[in-house]
Amino acid sequence: GLVKVLFLFSISIELIAALILSIRLVPQYGWSSGLFASLFHAISAFNNAGFSLWPDNLMSYVGDPTVNLVITFLFITGGIGFTVLFDVMKNRRFKAFSLHTKLMLTGTLMLNAIAMLAIFILEYSNPGTLGHLHMVDKLWASYFQAVTPRTAGFNSLDFGSMREGTIVFTLLLMFIGAGSASTASGIKLTTFIVILTSVIAYLRGKKETVIFRRSIKYPIIIKALAVSVTSLFIVFLGIFALTITEQAPFLQIVFETFSAFGTVGLTMGLTPELTTAGKCIIIVIMFIGRIGPLTFVFSFAKTEQSNIRYPDGEVFTG
C-alpha cells in the first residue's frame, strides 16, 4: 500500500510541477523543447539528481520566482523522506505526526532558514555571486543556495566564485544531507539532530536525550554516532586520496569529496579536470554515500552474537 501511494504521488507531483514549469519554459524554448525541459527538470529535482540541460545549470533563472519555487519544492519534498510524506498525508496534524516526522519538518525549516541567512550575509557584497543582483534577486539566490546543498545538486550561483566562509558552511550542509528513506544522501538530518541534542543533554547534566517530550533510546544515539564517525572517516580517506592523485587547490578537493559523499553534484570546477584515478575515487565515494556508510561496512563485516559480559572499566576521555 505504501509503495502504491508513493508511486502515484511521485508521478503526480512530477507531472504537475512539469506543467507549471512549462508555463515559464515553453514561451522561451517552444512547445517541444520547453515541455521536454520542464519534464526533465521536474524529475531531476524531485529525485535530487541535480542534472540540468543547460551549461550554467539554473544560473539564468537566479531571480525567477516560478523556477525557484517549483524546483526547490520538488527537491525538498523528495529529500524529506517518503515515510514523512506518508505520515503527513495520513495524519495531517502536527500533534499526530511521529517523532521522526516532527524532527524532519522542524529541522528542515530551521536549517534552511539559518542557511539562507548565513549565505545572504556572507555573499551580500561578493561581486561574483550576490553583489551585482537586486535585493529581491539576492533573496531568491540566497534561498536557493541554502536548500540546494542538501543533495539537490542544482545551483543558481557560481560556487567557484563564493567566499571561503560560504564554502565551508556549504560543506556542513552537504554532509548533513536530507531525510532517511528519501531520494537524498548525507548522514541525514535526523542523525545530526540526535547527536546535537545528545551533546546538549550531556552538557546540561541530563541522563536522557529528550526531543518533543520523547526520550531517544541509547541504541539510536550510538547508531547516529556510528553513522557520523564512519562517514567522516570515508570523507577523510577520499580527501587524502584525491590530494595524492589531483593537482588542485585543497579547498576544491575537500568540496568535491563532500559533494560526492552527499551525492550533491555541486563542484567548484574540479570535476572536469579530475584524473582517471580521481574519477574512480569520486565514483566510489558517491556509491558509498548513496547506499549509506553503515550498509557498506556491514556488507563486509561479520556480526557476532556473544553471551559473554565483561566487567566495567574506566577510561579517561575529553
Side chain identity at residue 73, one-letter code: F
What is the rounded average pLDDT of the residues 81-104? 88
pLDDT at 152: 80
**d(C-alpha 265, C-alpha 271), whole Å:** 9
Q: How confident is the model at residue 301 (pLDDT cuts 50, 70, 90)?
A: low
Total Cβ atoms within 10 A of residue 53: 12
The CA-based dihedral angle spanning residues 287, 291, 294, 295, taken in that order and rounded to the nearest 10 degrees: -110
**d(C-alpha 247, C-alpha 110), whole Å:** 38
- Closest-CA residue to 282 (of 252, 316, 317): 252
Rounded percentage of the chain residues whose pLDDT exceeds 90: 62
Q: What is the pLDDT of residues 164-219, one digit of tens each?
A: 999 999 999 999 988 887 777 889 899 999 999 999 999 999 989 999 989 999 99
**Mean pLDDT lowest for which of 45-54, 169-178, 295-304?**
295-304
How buried is residue 258: exposed, middle or buried, by Cβ count under 10 Å (0-12/13-18/19+)?
buried
Model pTM greater than 0.85? yes
CB 48 within 8 A of CB 174: no
Which of 125 and 151 is assigned the larger pLDDT?
A: 125
pLDDT at 194: 94
If phi > 0 it is left, if psi is from -120 to 50 it is alpha, else beta; for residue 177 that is left
Domain residues of the chain, as ranges? 2-298
Sign of CA dihedral 316, 294, 282, 80: negative
Give the SS3 label for residue 209. Answer: coil
Burial 264-284 (b: 16+ CB within 10 A, else e): bbbbbebbeebeeebeebbeb
Q: Which helix (H) or strand (E) holds 211?
A: strand 210-211
Q: Which residues contact 268 (CB under 8 A, 6 or more apart)?
A: 159, 160, 167, 251, 252, 255, 256
Is the confidence at residue 298, as pLDDT, over 80?
no
Give CA 33 to chain center in angstroms. Answer: 29
What is the bridge-based pairing of β-strands 210-211 and 214-215?
antiparallel
Q: What is the pLDDT of residues 302-318, one digit of tens each?
A: 666 778 888 988 888 77
If phi > 0 it is left, if psi is from -120 to 50 it is alpha, else beta; for residue 162 that is beta
Q: Angle, nearest 10°, between helix axes 31-46 and 65-79?
A: 40
Fill in the DSSP letter of residue 166.
Answer: H
How buried is residue 3: exposed, middle or buried, by Cβ count under 10 Å (0-12/13-18/19+)?
exposed
pLDDT at 292: 81
